[in-house]
Structure 1
């Protein structure tokens, strides 16, 4: 039986007719979904938790992406923009996160066809069916979705025909602890632990200059921060960087001749050189257990082999990757892989033990469906904890989903995608789960940048 044969058509019912498709998140994938819905003439509403579109991208806007512009712009969005005279950035240029927002996402969100249906400062905190919890089956597929939204004037509820959750994973980082749980003592030291990809050379310079920083994580977001700390140390003596990983080596940032993205392929060699020169201290095989606050400093306590080791710092950078926030979907019937928390049919295609970013084959609505008809995870959130996501992959996902919602079976099942070969993107999840799974070039997650 093929995947297409397993799919459930979107039902038609008087209670659904006229209701919009609800899009959760106004990042690159959410806005691409909106553009595809515009082209199909399907009503929609976009709910963005931040005060402006692409709120998470703005957080790491100082960082340059690995992927060039030609891999970063959704085809439907491009068609809508070019109809207004918008000029496509140079194909081979490597934008920062801020440039991605300013030169592409803001003009896209400002198009009247999208802007009129975009609500910012609106965090979707729960999704269910109208008057139907997850245990009730009768008439479920023809019952509108109910979204509870936290707005500036308090919570309210809206109804939708279908839901595309493209809210990403940036707000839910993995834990520092090797167990996947918050380390003991985390709460008392929370202000001394910062997010992935802090603006070391810019707005957060004072937090790192002349101080000791421990960077935890084995991926590209950790490597980027380490490179910036080494650069800062050239101007501010006393700036120290310690790199903590669980594995014997940082497989994910090893340089590779197979990587078609040169900006990323060079990172591993640059970090290795700094480690060899003693400018970055590498602590491998470290299993974090506890944090201890010592005044204005924090100590990372963990196992290294049979010994207990302590690492003290002024600040810890948590670059351990991200995981999906599933709390808002408690009343939705999901079918998720038990390991990576991606849709079950998608999980084998993105398994980081087998695939890099460039070897994930095209996929669409059929691999993204759940037992809840009309509900889809898209973008980085659809990949769960897997690190192999690319923006171009997410664009094809929402194109297929929207074609399915429009009843265009041929377009929905014809998925095609040309991705760059990205040899260094593969990782060994079996060896190192809690060091996180940084996403690859061109995603809407900070780990994608370089």
Structure 2
């Protein structure tokens, strides 16, 4: 294994001169960050672990967003795209994840300004300061960041004047157990990540099987609705739905929801429960999940009493959490509960705020004790599920203005979000707002007792950044 120093240590007084801003992740918020930085005249490099943009978005690409196009296109990105002859999607239509990639992220990444700034197949293993661990203080703000990268050619160290981490949380799901710990045993493919392609590529995994979906949020509802459609065509497909609470308030049908397709989602899934297509296991706190032959046995407590259920496959739709391992040498200031920046945490508390009631915020709320280091996008919300793409876009606009020295513009944060119902009432529960979810009308609403939505199948804005 070789170690390459792409940028050698600097000997001049200003060691940051000429260095780019490093953006981690080439999802919607990462590309928006790069667009805003370039617009401010700041060089930027985007490091993407996948071999193409929107890697996580592609993983749930079969899912339709419940945010229309007008809420998922960033202004600075639009300004890069318009001179290329880009066709603007219809503002009111609801894209799938694949649409988001093909009609927006890929054209954006191919613009003359962004294309040279994106490096693919690069995993950021660690972020630190050049020649300094987190315990060193003198001259820290004037010392370049050091990013250790893993590429197909080996290990590479690069430097940057600032770092914006938009790597998201999609690859870091919350564990199934109520204690927040992973099951003790290795369960292999008996446990499936949130938002499987039930009616497409993953159909055989679920057809004719006894399936337990764990989680009380929109991604759980999406999967349940599609599983109900599958069960209609595949005899023997049995559906169970485990939630911690006695009810599912976060999935209530809300006619006032500014995102109409999401407001209908609760009605659809509750109709499936009432009609008997789904057996709901409420007040179920999972203690452990263990292999049982080709099946798995889930043990815990239901309403305080011991409870056990055996199934063929479990869908983990319990939400996501930030992966902070690569930031061990960075001085982070995170809330003890939701793992968001301390000043941001009370503004996004899911016990108090819906997606649409989170107040505008920017660089002041995102700052850490580490100068010029920021976490933006879904990852900035830690374990809170109240994130919307529009929020992430305003975050990175504010950060870019701050790094460009326009401190007033950085703090003049303005954001108008669609009003929504409460996203969640349980921080430890399932993800909600911007984890993609769908009402699955075209595939499965016919087996639901609730009325079909007026809007196409839809989900939230995004689950990656």
Task: Give the TM-score of the pair, scaled to structure 1.
Answer: 0.93
Partner SS state of residue 315, structure 2: strand
Alignment of 1:357-436 (within 5 A): 357-425=355-423, 427-429=424-426, 433-436=427-430
Alignment of 1:175-190 (within 5 A): 175-185=175-185, 187=186, 189-190=187-188
- 2:42 maps to which residue? 42
1:379-433 deviation line (CA, Å, top 9, x unaligned): 00000001110000000000000000000122111111111001142x212xxx4
Does the CA contact (< 8 Å) of 1:265 and 1:424 recur in 2? no
Query: How big is the shift at 1:255?
Result: 1.1
Query: How big is the shift at 1:314?
Result: 1.1
Does the CA contact (< 8 Å) of 1:77 and 1:108 recur in 2? yes
- 1:5 maps to which residue? none
- 1:108 maps to which residue? 108
- 2:439 maps to which residue? none
1:96-148 deviation line (CA, Å, top 9, x unaligned): 00100100000000112111011111011110000100000011010000001
Does the CA contact (< 8 Å) of 2:80 and 2:113 recur in 1? no
Alignment of 1:293-304 (within 5 A): 293-304=291-302
Partners of 1:133 and 1:198 in 2: CA distance: 40
- 1:274 maps to which residue? 272
Partners of 2:460 and 2:399 in 1: CA distance: 21
Alignment of 1:253-264 (within 5 A): 253-264=251-262
Query: How big is the shift at 1:156?
Result: 1.2
Does the CA contact (< 8 Å) of 1:259 and 1:424 recur in 2? no
Q: CA RMSD in A?
A: 1.4
- 2:462 maps to which residue? 444
Alignment of 1:227 with 2:225, yes or no, is: yes
Runs of 5+ unmatched residues, structure 2: 1-11, 435-458
Does the CA contact (< 8 Å) of 1:386 and 1:439 recur in 2? no
Partner SS state of residue 423, structure 1: coil
Query: How big is the shift at 1:434?
Result: 3.4
Partner SS state of residue 128, structure 2: strand
1:342-378 deviation line (CA, Å, top 9, x unaligned): 0001111111111101011111111101010010000
Partners of 2:154 and 2:282 in 1: CA distance: 47
Does the CA contact (< 8 Å) of 2:353 and 2:422 recur in 1? no
Partner SS state of residue 112, structure 1: coil
When the two structures are aligned, how many residues end up with a matched partner? 430
Alignment of 1:206 with 2:204, yes or no, is: yes
- 2:440 maps to which residue? none
Query: How big is the shift at 1:306?
Result: 3.5
Alignment of 1:347 with 2:345, yes or no, is: yes
Does the CA contact (< 8 Å) of 1:341 and 1:385 recur in 2? yes
Partners of 2:221 and 2:291 in 1: CA distance: 26
Partner SS state of residue 280, structure 2: strand
Does the CA contact (< 8 Å) of 1:184 and 1:289 recur in 2? no
Partner SS state of residue 275, structure 1: helix
- 1:166 maps to which residue? 166
- 1:3 maps to which residue? none
- 1:76 maps to which residue? 76
Runs of 5+ unmatched residues, structure 1: 1-11
1:248-291 deviation line (CA, Å, top 9, x unaligned): 01121111122111111111111111101110010011111111
Partners of 2:13 and 2:191 in 1: CA distance: 50
Partner SS state of residue 287, structure 2: strand
Partner SS state of residue 116, structure 1: helix
Does the CA contact (< 8 Å) of 1:71 and 1:442 recur in 2? no
- 1:6 maps to which residue? none
- 1:97 maps to which residue? 97
Partners of 1:438 and 1:131 in 2: CA distance: 41
- 2:283 maps to which residue? 285
Partner SS state of residue 211, structure 2: strand
Moved over 3 A (4+): 439-443
Partner SS state of residue 403, structure 1: helix
Partner SS state of residue 213, structure 2: strand
1:126-174 deviation line (CA, Å, top 9, x unaligned): 1000010000001101000000111112221110000000000011100
Task: Give the TM-score of the pair, scaled to structure 2.
Answer: 0.90
